[in-house]
Amino acid sequence: MKNWNMILTTALLCSCAVSDPNRTIESLNISAPRLVKLPGASFTMGSDHDTPAEKPEHAVTLSEFWMSSTEITVGQFGEFVRATGYITTAEKDSGGWIFDTTISNMAFKKDATWKHPYMEQNSNHPVVLVTWFDAQAYCEWLSKTTGLAVSLPTEAQWEYACKAGSKDGLNIKDIAWIQDSTQLFTHEAAAKKPNIFGIYDMLGNVWEWTSDWYSDYTADHATNPHQTADLGRGKIARGGSWNFPAEFARPTFRQPGHGPKARAQDLGFRVVVQMGQ
């Protein structure tokens, strides 16, 4: 009987770990973001009333997924670097783009890296000056370490999580650090209110890499869309940042044209987990 009780207890614990990726991460004592479960659903993606890249509105159906409640932080990225010895693109290719206060514009600095971002940061600030390849490397490490299917969000997953069941999202001043705010540069993760799903900084603070290459929308209904083919128009970043005004911090706004090696002082990422993969 004792053996059966032990087997049953073990099975229940494994079942919980499999059904909740947070338990898997906690059991490994990894400094990773808390994940929020988003139920599978259909929603309207895009906008017929804004920029051409957002048109047309179209129906999208998504399977259930989990998303990090915050952008990946300096501390979390640092743990990955220490564990693997990873060297970012900015460190290998001589720097990145930062906001130069002397000219009130972006400027390329040869020594600008995630470790030296030309602004005050602590371990709870979102990591910046990371390329799409750097973000991918983090996802691959976290996948290998946890056994979970960790990736960058697709555009559709990102927009669904940002809208959080509403058409446009919450009051921008309540949830986002944008150019209209009183302080330059990044803020600590989760310093403002979360959206209805319990996810922080979906708008503002830093632009976020998605997994998709840019492609024009169609009016067709799509299920779990993911643009994996490079059509020569770059990767997509979403969400706006501390360095952009409110019109860029909208759930439907798309910023195409980023080469995957782009890195800047206002560009970071968050992750998603797809269970059962």
Report pLDDT digits (tens) over 179-207: 976 678 999 999 999 999 999 999 999 99
Asked if 194 contacts 205 with a C-beta cutoff of 8 angstroms, the reply is no
What per-residue confidence (pLDDT) applies to 249? 93
Above 70 in pLDDT, residue 11? no
3 state SS of 126: strand
**pLDDT confidence bin for 173, thresholds 50/70/90:** confident
| Rounded mean pLDDT, 69-80 | 98
**For the chain, what is the radius of gyration of the CA atoms?**
19
- CATH architecture, domain defined by 32-273: Alpha-Beta Complex (3.90)
**pLDDT confidence bin for 168, thresholds 50/70/90:** low
Structural domain boundaries in the chain? 1-30, 32-273
Whether the ω angle into residue 56 lies within 30 degrees of 0, i.e. cis, is yes
Q: In whole numbers, what is the pLDDT of the chain averaged over residues?
A: 90
What is the distance between the alpha carbons of residues 86 and 185, in angstroms, rounded to a whole number?
25
Neighbour-count burial for 69-86, b at 16+ CB within 10 Å, e otherwise = bbbbbbebbebbbeeeee
What per-residue confidence (pLDDT) applies to 196? 92
What per-residue confidence (pLDDT) applies to 214? 96
What per-residue confidence (pLDDT) applies to 54? 96
Asked if 44 contacts 11 with a C-beta cutoff of 8 angstroms, the reply is no
Which residues, at least 6 apart from 227, have a Cβ–Cβ distance to it below 8 Å? 155, 212, 213, 214, 215
Above 90 in pLDDT, residue 7? no
What is the distance between the alpha carbons of residues 8 and 12, in angstroms, rounded to a whole number?
6
What per-residue confidence (pLDDT) applies to 118? 96
Q: Comparing 120 with 8, which gets the higher pLDDT?
A: 120
Q: Comparing 173 with 252, which gets the higher pLDDT?
A: 252
What is the distance between the alpha carbons of residues 185 and 242, in angstroms, rounded to a whole number?
6
- Of 269, 273, 266, 276, the C-alpha closest to 112 is 266
| Rounded mean pLDDT, 54-71 | 97
What per-residue confidence (pLDDT) applies to 167? 58
Of 13-17, 127-131, 175-179, 235-239, least confident by mean pLDDT is: 13-17
Asked if 187 contacts 205 with a C-beta cutoff of 8 angstroms, the reply is yes
Side chain identity, residue 65: F
What is the distance between the alpha carbons of residues 175 and 190, in angstroms, rounded to a whole number?
9
Above 80 in pLDDT, residue 229? yes
Tell me how crowded residue 277 is: count the other CB atoms within 10 A of its CB. 10
